[in-house]
Amino acid sequence: KTDAIVLLTGESGCGKDYVARYIHRHSKRASGSFFAINCAALPPDLAESELFGHEAGAFTGTRGRKRGLFELSEGGTILLNEIGEMDTRLQAKLLTFLDSRSFVRVGGEQAIRANARLLAATNRDLETEVKLGRFRQDLYFRLNVLRVHVPPLRERTEDIPHLARSLLARIAVDLQLPLVPGIDEKTLKELQSYPWPGNVRELSNVLERAVIRSGGSPIDLTGLGIRQSENLRATKSFPIPDDK
């Protein structure tokens, strides 16, 4: 219910983005916009413009003004995903924004204030990144207000039945199925015995593949591409079954 910065940590695919959206939906800013951007996917020469915007003529070929995500998130929330990948030069500008709640567009002269709540997520150990000189210590201290660690799926296997049913419901909507595919207790127990190195993202992919192959029938081990339970525990990926 506060506007405090939240730093979400955890392995890739464990659900940090979901937790960020949950925080936004239950905050005082729930009626505002929510933007998420992957810092690892931003080219360094475009990242500053994406976050803070630019004025006309700031770059070769730019004709108009562009508002960045911090402006667009006015009254809402912005998630900086994989913030450990952010360029160090941009880290300095982000720190300035967090201290002053204002920024200058690329090529601009006037400071602009923005009322956006910041959430940050990373799969890196930022304390180690600070020691290695790849992440600014002052920015780390500024971000580390409320820290929420999202455990990997292998450490919370009791969540798998709920997650599986929730994911199946979403998959049914995405695939425009008339009914949500069922899944029996035996299959759920098999899912709970697998270490899930790809976390929730891997679970979602496996279930989607099973739904597509099941043809509307309940999900079972065959639909998951598992011949024996030993394969589930011993392999890091599900084997592709024969066409027979």
* Tens digits of residue pLDDT in 40-60: 888 877 888 888 887 776 666
Residue with tokens 């239950």: 26
- Identify which has the larger pLDDT, 230 or 3: 3
For the cut 50, the answer to whether the pLDDT of residue 237 exceeds it is: no
d(CA 14, CA 123) in angstroms, rounded, equals 9
Give the separation between CA 69 and CA 37, rounded to whole angstroms. 9
Q: Which residue in the block uniquely carries the two structure tokens 């599900």?
A: 238
Q: pLDDT for 154-197, tens place per residue?
A: 999 999 999 999 999 999 999 999 989 999 898 999 999 989 99
What residues contact 17, with CB distance under 8 A and at least 6 apart? 36, 79, 81, 121
**pTM, 2 dp:** 0.81
Is residue 35 over pLDDT 60?
A: yes
